[in-house]
Structure 1
Amino acid sequence: MLKTYTFPQYEYRRSAEQREGVVKRHPLVIIGAGPVGLTAALDCARRGLPVVVLDDNNSVSMGSRAVCYAKRSLEILDRLGVGEALAGQGVRWQIGKVFHGEGLAYQFDLLPQSQHKMPAMINLQQYHLEERLVQACQREPLVDLRWKHKLVAIEPGADGVALQVETPDGVFALQADWLLACDGAGSDTRALLGLDFEGQVFQDRFLIADVVMQAEFPTERWFWFDPPFHRNQSVLLHKQCDKVWRIDFQLGRDADPVEEKRPERVIPRIQAMLGPDAQFELEWVSVYQFACRRMKNFRHGRVLFVGDAAHQVSPFGARGANSGMQDADNLGWKLQAVLQGRAPESLLDSYHAERAAAADDNILNSTRSTDFISPKSRASLRLRNAVLELARSEAFARPLVNSGRLSMPTPYRDSPLITPDEDDFEGGVAPGCPCVDAPLADGRWLLNALGQDFMLLSFGAEIADGPVPVLQVDGLAAERYGASPGTCYLIRPDQFVAARWRRFDAARVAAALARSLGGGPDAQA
């Protein structure tokens, strides 16, 4: 039990196939009702796809777990109808400060540009996020949430997947055209299929302490290297809602995880940081190790792995949950196109092509962060400390400081779905990159106006015969997109740029659209 939160208990219900004793086939089944599975379910339902979600628990995640949600994830959630509420509930921040010893090494601003709907980052305990997503799914008639349903057997086939599911009323069978494994790092789906990760497990241990307290710290991300209250190690501080603060203490490789979680070990560490007279209560404590690794392939026939079930990174940089929600965002529109007959099944191979590249980018950045935070040799330690000292006064050293490169969306520049520039562009939003938000003249935000299907952005020119709906924009959006009069952008359903041109050409737009849908002969908007 937590002091600031009461965990909901969701009701187990017998399904229709259990009551009737029949095996039913569903277009889409999702394993796991965490942030990634719920995001995927909500996205698919908003695209008209009925989805069954199975989870072996009947509540939200215990402990705050993931707490940092980046601008891109908030934009995805806003498209699904929950972004504004989450941004309002969470603690907004964009300034980070890095300390070395007793002094400030440097600070950064995640969103120096104004006029964006969503903030650079919010801090919000994972259980709050999950509860809001559950509520949104419960309001969605195309989402069938089934609690206390545990996957115990799986048999993939050429055109679907057969499942055995254990419930309080026994085991029953169901089938799926497509299965999304969103069941986390310890994925039952992955284990049942005999699949594994490739990559590296780190030996360093870290203590998470969620602390309830009144504090005067500003709403910023503070990271210390070798602070006086925790010598030769690092500490991270984040503010969450409900007067809860997240503190991460680096413990080293030899720390005993059972011993370090005891209050008599945790409380003195916090007192050393805050002062002996500080008033606080422990909310949640955990000790963790982490890994940087991924599956060789995210698609195995009709089974697709999403989020932590497909890849793992260290928590530094908030790349885990954010990357998982971006996986779901990438996959939903492709499933829609395939299931509705608008694209060939091979379009789903691009899910792996695009999101494995993103996973590799996250793993690279996460590994570099870990190496900087936990140097493995004396020479590496001396180099790191020199960088931190130089960063106080020398601008060139600041980009070398790495307390966790914070989550940013990975461009899909090498994707087979993206049409490279044929016209000359300087600046703007390149093909393969996510759209940038801007206010529109009619009071809407650009990302809200784009919706969730293919769209052609036209800057300063009327287009009457486009192969997809056209949105005419100007003003600040034209500046951010490097657009001169006549410029047009083809936007994908996940709000990534598929192609762009200096003038509209129906044939080139149609070719780029077909390429975005996998290039099949029946590809159409």
Structure 2
Amino acid sequence: MHKPETTPRASLYHAYRVYAHYHPQPAPHSSAPDAPVTVVGGGPIGMVTALALARHGVRCVVLQAEQQVSEGSRAIVFTRRSQEILQAVGVSDAVVANGLPWTSGNSYYRGQRVFRMESPVDEDDRFAPLINLQQNVLESYLVEAIAREPLVEIRWGNKLIGMTQDDDGVTLQIDTPQGEYTQRTGWLVAADGARSTVRTALGLRFEGASYEGRFVIADIRIDLDLPTERLAYFAPDWNPGNTVLMHREPGGIWRVDYQLPVEETSEHALQPDTIRQRIDAQLDMMGLGGKPWELDWCSVYSARALTLPDYVHRRILFAGDAAHLLPIFGVRGANTGFQDAIDLSWKLAAVVKGSAPAPLLASYTHDRVGAAREIIAEAGKSTRFMTPPSHGFRVLRDAVLDLSLDHEFVRPLFHWRTSRAHDYRDSPLNSPSDDNAAMRAGPGVGAPAPNVKLGENDYFYDHLGAAFHLVTFGDSPLPGALREEIETWRERGVALRVIAFATSQHDVGGADLTLADANGRAAAKYGAQAGTSYLVRPDHHICARWQRLDASRLADALAQATARR
């Protein structure tokens, strides 16, 4: 019988709540009602996936083995793209209100700053490039959002222990503190983390590399008069040849990540006396010796760059760390998982609701495995610099460190290649017959649609819903044939909204929403002239664009984007 911990976790900054466990009525060893979708894993990726499915009108159940949110801060840095996704599921206001935004990072060697990274800031962006907030706090916001969402049910204290799938769905065996029960579900999303029970049960194996470098992650409460920036210290005297990273967190907490010597065991590294010695040494090096501090949470992390080659296995789909394990350098873990969630949710919802055929899900593997492999190639450069995997790499890294003290040209090698929104340039859902190749300005097909500031607290993304969006530019009404084509697709169950950017104050005929663009700000951002149109997927990525659009070209693009051809 499953017995999750029911004592609230200890924390210096977060009040943990223990939630009542779920068990079916009237008794254990019975069956719960069928669910269209079940998500295994109640971490941030599982909950965002569930909330995103609910936006598309799909009911789902979330199985969470524990009865409280995760222990410790874990993921703490969230990108602008992640904040846009969190906006879509209704928690970005809380994140922005309580998180710490930042734009820059510094790298130090032998007491000298050798590189400063500045993330670009655009006045059209609603969110900061990066924001720090502890994962357990974010999870609590997501739990609150689920409580407000009638289409999502989270079942605390429910542990998946077995499953069988067939052509129509998956039968789940679930254990609770009051016994086992069975659950039938149409689709199963495995968002159950690095040690995924579902992945293990299917016998699936990752592709990629693990690195020798291990880091202690320690959260400490300390009063430091330092800005919110990412700090990296290479080969400090107290940790020769290794790397130390620091981040400010809300609640007076600082994250200190320090690399371990190869020969040291994780058990020794996590001893309180060992941690205190290392933290004190880091503070001494920074000229902050004697500052009082308290340990909140600690763990050991190993750098890995791994992915499943396929995220879709009949009726079972994978997301987040269950699908891939990515290095923390460049904040890629949870941020990549959120992009999995928003991509998977609209495609799975379309299949569940019958507005697209099941082959649409193959594009989830294509788009997101492609993203993971690109991230692995990119993150590998940062990982090999932070934690050289061989003597040759270490010699090269150390040479760069030495040269950086006097030579500007080598310092960009310190850049940590921050996580970014993936560009689906070769997605099978992109239109093969649009005008993308002929258009020299604006975002290309596959890219996320750029945000645009429309007013004091009004942005383009504020108007995007759970639908395809046809974005047009100019004051002319949509032709009758184009309006009829739009209605045809709506009758097929495809959610499609028309947003027009107009220079005049008048509504554009045929548009569901007209946004004023009198100063041409949006048109310039999109490289648009009168008559330019973009088709934006429900996950905000562009799948077609035209200099001139007609009904047949829209039909071709929508057929491609919904896997109907």
What's the TM-score, normalizing by structure 2? 0.88
My pick for the range that moved more, 417-426 or 213-222, is 417-426
Equivalent in the alignment of 1:328? 341
Cα separation, partners in 2 of 1:514 and 1:399, compared to 1, 3 Å: farther
Alignment of 1:1-400 (within 5 A): 1-16=10-25, 18=27, 21-22=30-31, 24-275=33-284, 276-388=289-401, 396-400=409-413
**Alpha-carbon shift at residue 391 of structure 1 (Å):** 5.2
Q: Is the 8 A contact 2:212 2:389 kept in 1?
A: no
- Asked if residue 472 in structure 1 is aligned to residue 536 in structure 2, the reply is no
Equivalent in the alignment of 2:553? 508
Amino acid at match of 1:462: S
Uncovered stretches (5+) of structure 1, i.e. residues with no partner: 521-525
Query: How many Å separate the matches in 2 of 1:213 and 1:7?
Result: 21
Query: How many Å separate the matches in 2 of 1:147 and 1:504?
Result: 50
Cα separation, partners in 2 of 1:451 and 1:392, compared to 1, 3 Å: farther
**Alpha-carbon shift at residue 98 of structure 1 (Å):** 1.4
**Alpha-carbon shift at residue 476 of structure 1 (Å):** 2.3
Amino acid at match of 2:331: A
Amino acid at match of 1:470: V
Amino acid at match of 2:536: I
Q: Is the 8 A contact 1:391 1:401 kept in 2?
A: no
Cα separation, partners in 2 of 1:64 and 1:159, compared to 1, 3 Å: same
Q: Is the 8 A contact 1:452 1:495 kept in 2?
A: no
Equivalent in the alignment of 2:504? none
Query: How many Å separate the matches in 2 of 1:298 and 1:279?
Result: 47
* Structure 1: 4+ residue segments shifted above 4 A: 16-20, 388-396
Q: Is the 8 A contact 2:58 2:151 kept in 1?
A: yes
**Alpha-carbon shift at residue 487 of structure 1 (Å):** 1.3
Q: Is the 8 A contact 1:198 1:296 kept in 2?
A: yes
Q: Is the 8 A contact 2:28 2:180 kept in 1?
A: no
Amino acid at match of 1:458: T
My pick for the range that moved more, 71-80 or 423-432, is 423-432
Equivalent in the alignment of 1:497? 542
Deviations 1:434-458 (Å, cap 9, x if unpaired)? 1111112595211111222111111
Query: How many Å separate the matches in 2 of 1:140 and 1:266?
Result: 42
Q: Is the 8 A contact 1:316 1:369 kept in 2?
A: yes
Q: Equivalent of 1:439, from 417, 439, 453?
A: 453
Deviations 1:444-480 (Å, cap 9, x if unpaired)? 2111112221111112243434424221223322222
Q: Is the 8 A contact 1:105 1:389 kept in 2?
A: no
Amino acid at match of 1:207: V
Amino acid at match of 2:206: F
Cα separation, partners in 2 of 1:22 and 1:280, compared to 1, 3 Å: closer
Q: Equivalent of 1:484, from 526, 529, 545?
A: 529
Identity %: 38
Q: Is the 8 A contact 2:242 2:260 kept in 1?
A: yes
Q: Is the 8 A contact 2:64 2:158 kept in 1?
A: yes
**Alpha-carbon shift at residue 396 of structure 1 (Å):** 4.8
**Alpha-carbon shift at residue 34 of structure 1 (Å):** 0.2
Query: How many Å separate the matches in 2 of 1:220 and 1:360?
Result: 28
Deviations 1:359-409 (Å, cap 9, x if unpaired)? 11122222221111122445433432443455567665344324x321111
What secondary structure, in the 3-state scheme, does the structure 1 residue paired with 2:244 have? strand
Q: Is the 8 A contact 1:154 1:193 kept in 2?
A: no
Q: Is the 8 A contact 1:92 1:122 kept in 2?
A: yes
**Alpha-carbon shift at residue 198 of structure 1 (Å):** 2.1
Q: Equivalent of 2:465, from 432, 444, 451?
A: 451
Query: How many Å separate the matches in 2 of 1:339 and 1:285?
Result: 41
**Alpha-carbon shift at residue 135 of structure 1 (Å):** 0.8
What secondary structure, in the 3-state scheme, does the structure 2 residue paired with 1:414 have? coil
Amino acid at match of 2:497: P
Q: Is the 8 A contact 2:78 2:335 kept in 1?
A: yes
Amino acid at match of 1:313: L
Amino acid at match of 2:352: L
Query: How many Å separate the matches in 1 of 2:172 and 2:401?
Result: 53
**Alpha-carbon shift at residue 325 of structure 1 (Å):** 1.1
**Alpha-carbon shift at residue 255 of structure 1 (Å):** 1.6
Query: How many Å separate the matches in 1 of 2:239 and 2:344?
Result: 43
What secondary structure, in the 3-state scheme, does the structure 1 residue paired with 2:427 have? coil
What secondary structure, in the 3-state scheme, does the structure 2 residue paired with 1:48 have? coil
Query: How many Å separate the matches in 1 of 2:392 and 2:179?
Result: 59
Deviations 1:280-307 (Å, cap 9, x if unpaired)? 1111111222321111211100000111
What secondary structure, in the 3-state scheme, does the structure 1 residue paired with 2:458 have? coil
Q: Is the 8 A contact 2:172 2:182 kept in 1?
A: yes
Q: Is the 8 A contact 2:115 2:412 kept in 1?
A: no
Equivalent in the alignment of 1:523? none
Deviations 1:31-54 (Å, cap 9, x if unpaired)? 010000000111111211110111
Query: How many Å separate the matches in 1 of 2:392 and 2:164?
Result: 51
Query: How many Å separate the matches in 2 of 1:119 and 1:463?
Result: 36
Query: How many Å separate the matches in 2 of 1:394 and 1:453?
Result: 51
Query: How many Å separate the matches in 1 of 2:25 and 2:523?
Result: 52
Cα separation, partners in 2 of 1:501 and 1:213, compared to 1, 3 Å: same
Query: How many Å separate the matches in 1 of 2:303 and 2:552?
Result: 49
Equivalent in the alignment of 1:425? 439
**Alpha-carbon shift at residue 506 of structure 1 (Å):** 2.2
Cα separation, partners in 2 of 1:442 and 1:67, compared to 1, 3 Å: closer
Query: How many Å separate the matches in 2 of 1:389 and 1:109?
Result: 23
My pick for the range that moved more, 310-319 or 237-246, is 310-319
What secondary structure, in the 3-state scheme, does the structure 1 residue paired with 2:212 have? coil
My pick for the range that moved more, 322-331 or 450-459, is 450-459
